[in-house]
Amino acid sequence: MQSLVIVAHGSHLNPDSSAPTYAHADTIREVGAFEEVRTGFWKEEPHLREVLRTVEGDEVYVVPLFISEGYFTEQVIPRELRLSEWDVEQWDSDGLSADQATLTAADTGQTVHYCGPVGTHKAMTDVLVRRAETVTDDPDVGTGFGLAVVGHGTERNENSAKAIEYHADRIRDLDRFDEVKSLYMDEEPEVDDVTDHFESEDVIVVPLFIADGFHTQEDIPEDMGLTDDYRTGYSVPAEVDGRRIWYAGAVGTEPLLADVVLERAADAGASLDDSLAAVRETTRVATGDD
């Protein structure tokens, strides 16, 4: 019996924080990719410490709905799941290449395939591009547009910027958009100055965040000058310094992210048969593709 557990941060303050986790779990559950699909959170119920106790299966694939490798994926999640054999060296990662480690949960005895975060998987590049398509309502968007991939950025975790740069480089290599840049909230180059970094008249801004919250709904729109007060809303596109800014909101809310969760599980050895194709069909319908 194969079971999937999607783990995420969650929030006591923002009820929307867990919404993408539940949505992607529902998508995967509906196509029968696993016999059971559960969710667990650091700041909400069911808590990470208890989530494996809700799982009936003996073989569990755990996929972190996080953007980068770091404190939560390397310390908090393994500790709370009681993966006593865990050592970050088992991922043999350079900050971008975490794949999976097979461990035993100390208290339940379950075999746990602990996967790398969704944010560093190569399939996340497709989700970022899809986000650009959905915000412009144009499946062929590219020529004449610039694209900004936005991250938090922090000196506390050098891997934070690696995921942003990695996907920006991959999108740039597609030669689809006129310009592709990496911008940050707490590092240079800053998203506040988005119009200074592009020559294109149309710029799509996609935050590489899992959920819409304080940063994506309040900070970034105000910092870019889309609005003086996020509570009054803003247009999409909004005109800033003579440019049209197409602000997409958190990439983690894109239905296609369910594909990345399954890709992580498949890379860890999960037998998915036709389920991955079924989920892809579901997410295409969800985003309005033919």
* Burial 175-188, CB ≥16 within 10 A → b, else e: ebbbebbbbbbebe
Residue 290 has pLDDT above 50, yes or no: no
**Residue among 145, 165, 126, 141 nearest 251 (CA):** 126
Contact in structure between 37 and 265 (CB atoms under 8 Å) = no
Q: What is the pTM of this model?
A: 0.94
List, for residues 19-70, the tens digit of each pLDDT value: 999 999 999 999 998 999 999 999 999 999 999 999 999 999 999 999 999 9
List, for residues 100-109, the tens digit of each pLDDT value: 999 999 999 9
Region of residue 244 (left: phi > 0; alpha: psi -120 to 50; beta: else): beta
Q: How far apart are the first and last CA of the chain?
A: 34
Q: What is the pLDDT of residue 38?
A: 98
Residue 156 has pLDDT above 80, yes or no: no
Average pLDDT over residues 117-143: 97
Contact in structure between 199 and 148 (CB atoms under 8 Å) = no
Q: What is the pLDDT of residue 15?
A: 78
List, for residues 218-273, the tens digit of each pLDDT value: 999 999 999 999 889 999 999 999 999 999 989 999 999 999 999 999 999 999 97
Contact in structure between 234 and 226 (CB atoms under 8 Å) = yes
Contact in structure between 163 and 121 (CB atoms under 8 Å) = no
